[in-house]
Structure 1
Amino acid sequence: MSEQQQTPADERRAPRPAGRHVVIVGAGMAGVQTAVALREQGFTGPVTLVGAEPHQPYDRPPLSKAVLLGKAEDSAFDVDFEALDVDLRLGVEVTRLRAADREVDTEAGPVPYDTLVVATGAHPLTLPGSEGVPGVHLLRTLDDAARLKPVLESRHDIVVVGAGWIGAEFATAARQAGCAVTVVEAADRPLAGALPAEVTAPMGAWYAESGAELRLHARVEHVEEGRVVLTADSTDFGATGAPRELPADAVVVGIGARPATGWLEDSGVALDPSGALVADDRLRTSLPDVYAVGDCASFPSARYGERLLVHHWDNALQGPRTVAADILGAAVAPYDPVPYFWSEQFGRFVQYAGHHAAADTLLWRGDPADEAWSVLWLREDALVALLAVGRPRDLAQGRKLIEQAAPLDPARAADPSVPLKAAVR
């Protein structure tokens, strides 16, 4: 059975009765936008949105920026749930799915559904052995940001574990607040799991420019209150003699995330090795009338010829429209977006679109020593991915060209003075 045919499509395409009860588990961007999209597309039946956190549903990207720096109290969505007639249940943890009974169990009792949408997002990975150690923080929730605000205000010595997107954004905010920051990364470069070495190489210099220290090839042996101890074989840019013990009034861990699907392990729903729900190209799971959207779900991409798991905001914004349309029995195109995300770090606006894994050519547009430059990935001369640093026009035009699979003239595409759209053959 193909991925596109893993669920009974004919059964799903039939129009649904208007009174069907849709239950959405997860009140982040994906869950909230699913509720909004259902109403916008004309669904009139009951909608229940269940969220584990007690706070009014909020957007996560500002947590590592405005909220963390005290420039905003929160980042609540501007959504009137009462006007939408959405039953909002907050502070309710969902513990189990009983698909045969069409119910989800919660701490407050079972919730029956006719259609279920799983939008539980992802949990940040913790540093082994750090649980319960005072001063160790994650940055995923509003409560996490609230705990970190006074750390920044006190201008503490901070160690960040992980030089990925979250690590870089937090280090940026901490330096803006006047903290001494050391970032330790087990790999040989920042963003090692996201981008190739030649692209991330110039990004390493951004840390020093901001006044943060970046320690590469640095693995954490253990964390104690007030310090981080590195393994004996950890080095600093390949050099020996760097200190193994780092003073740390606070430790912020940013080493990745895993789909928040533990409550589904005994439900019979298909999960992939990462723990993500296996969804088809309409975001339907292997269980009847159960959908998955956002960070907790992987989906097949015909554009890239592989299954994608996208842990970014734009995926949580776009997927709900497909889910809502399919729930309503409307005609809907296969879900196959061009992945997109952005990051604000060290005074730079970094944007990425596409998926570069299958590219056969890498092109530079501009000098990475400058403030603004881009990298293009081509496959048989068609643009498949793009990284833009301070070049938003490249991103905007490139994203459209990826969607169109338009062939480019590589020589013109590599010329930063030529608009990308003018490089189309």
Structure 2
Amino acid sequence: MSEQQTEKSPARNVVVVGAGMAGVQSAVALREAGFTGQVTLIGAEPHQPYDRPPLSKAVLLGKAEDSAFDVDFDALDITLRLGLDVTALRAADHVLDTADGPVRYDALILATGAEPLTLPGTEGVPGVHLLRTLDDAARLRPVLDRQHDVVVVGAGWIGAEFATAARAAGCAVTVVEAAARPLAGTLPAEVAAPMAAWYAGSGAELLTGARVERVEEGAVILADGRTLPAGAVVVGVGARPATGWLEGSGIALGPDGSVTADSALRTSLPDVYAVGDCASFPSARYGTRLLVHHWDNALQGPRTAAAAIMAAESGAPLPVYDPVPYFWSEQFGRFVQYAGHHADADTLLWRGDGADATWSVCWLCDGALVAVLAVGRPRDLAQGRRLIESGAALDPEKAADPAVPLKSTAL
């Protein structure tokens, strides 16, 4: 980024745009940090702020009506403005334009998250669904209750989790993936390969190398001419930062559409910060800019943004945000966890056999552990995450032995 803000005026009025995990935690973190000014949380949805991971699990299966955060906003003196669209940012005036008129801020936290990518040509086609919001889950629950034939487009994390829920509900499920394997954009071929068998093991059909030609009511037509019956189609082909409304604001965005925050989560505009799925940040640990679309990032980043706002007032040193990224997924009866960033790894070590019920994979760079994927091995994940944080080098022979605790493999 060419210029990052370096000076700030005292923040007496902080506005947070986005009422998901990142937004709620930003408001809460401000209070926990001792901020006594006005805090306003603006959310586009009318619902009480809620957590998203349960949408593809308990909420979708009717085991919970919602997943509202257990936060007493009144006790924290946080003003909620829900069901309100923010349309523009006028940074020179420190003003947000909203459907209800202008909202002024002294400091602003952008926490608008990500929006799901749609499948071209499916707009307005009956029976096509996304799974991102509480309303999306509410529309999908009757689909599962009626045990429709379901086609899932995309074998990523969301696709796998929805397929898991649909099979649990008794639906016939076909998952269509354009790439040659599940999670092709996330994991190497040899690591993702064992996961393909999970689909068949659950009774779902996985079609790889299969492109969707078009979607009609009741059917998905593939590019090779096959027609798949579909009482419902669920699209899970990725997401992008929800930053389109910032066009013309002067804020710096990356090529991926993310707000390019600095190591204190400050943006290129004065008094504006960004957290969660809509923001990328520089990682000194990994020597690159990271865009992390996962729950833990939305939980941790707000503490840094709140500390940076407080530092701007007190003159204290700025905080530095450089976490070890972490996420988890529950699919096909397995608990999958990942920590780190393996893009630049030069060594891959297996701990166990991918055909077994539990196994792990470690990625090393110059001998140091940089990432770990654990399937049903939570101790590997917990110990590996600490080793990554410490920058520890591992004994590769010991690390490849699943019987040796990962923490004991450090040199």
Q: 1:333 & 1:364 partners in 2: Cα distance? A: 36
Is 1:7 the counterpart of 2:7? The answer is no
Is 1:280 the counterpart of 2:277? The answer is no
Provide the residue aligned with 1:236 in structure 2: none
Q: 1:49 & 1:331 partners in 2: Cα distance? A: 26
Q: 1:36 & 1:393 partners in 2: Cα distance? A: 30
Q: 2:124 & 2:191 partners in 1: Cα distance? A: 37
Gaps of at least 5 residues in structure 1 are: 233-242
Is 1:225 the counterpart of 2:207? The answer is no
Identity of counterpart residues, as a percentage? 77
Q: 1:167 & 1:265 partners in 2: Cα distance? A: 30
Q: How does 1:293-308 map to 2 (within 5 A)?
A: 293-308=275-290
Query: Which of 362, 369, 373 is the equivalent residue of 1:376?
Result: 362
Q: 2:5 & 2:19 partners in 1: Cα distance? A: 28
Is 1:192 the counterpart of 2:189? The answer is no
Is 1:180 the counterpart of 2:172? The answer is yes
How many residues of Structure 1 are paired with residues of Structure 2 in the alignment? 407
- Give the SS at the match of 2:101: coil
Provide the residue aligned with 2:380 in structure 1: 394
Shift of 1:8: 3.5
Shift of 1:29: 0.3
Is 1:158 the counterpart of 2:150? The answer is yes
Is 1:317 the counterpart of 2:303? The answer is no
Provide the residue aligned with 2:346 in structure 1: 360
Shift of 1:72: 0.6
Q: How does 1:6-155 map to 2 (within 5 A)?
A: 6-9=3-6, 11-12=7-8, 17=10, 20-155=12-147
- Give the SS at the match of 1:143: helix
Q: 1:90 & 1:99 partners in 2: Cα distance? A: 22
- After the TM superposition, list the runs of 4 or more consecutive aligned residues in structure 1 that deviate by more than 3 angstroms: 330-333
What TM-score do you get using the length of structure 2 for normalisation?
0.98
Is 1:350 the counterpart of 2:340? The answer is no
Provide the residue aligned with 1:412 in structure 2: 398
Query: Which of 323, 348, 357 is the equivalent residue of 1:337?
Result: 323
Provide the residue aligned with 2:409 in structure 1: 423
Give the aligned residue type for 1:37.
A
Q: 2:319 & 2:258 partners in 1: Cα distance? A: 22
Is 1:262 the counterpart of 2:244? The answer is yes
Confirm or deny: 8 A CA contact 2:87 2:96 kept in the other structure.
yes
Confirm or deny: 8 A CA contact 1:6 1:280 kept in the other structure.
no
Give the aligned residue type for 2:125.
V
Give the aligned residue type for 1:326.
A
Gaps of at least 5 residues in structure 2 are: none
Shift of 1:333: 3.3
Shift of 1:332: 4.0
Shift of 1:140: 0.2
Confirm or deny: 8 A CA contact 2:5 2:269 kept in the other structure.
no
Q: 2:396 & 2:16 partners in 1: Cα distance? A: 46
Give the aligned residue type for 1:7.
Q
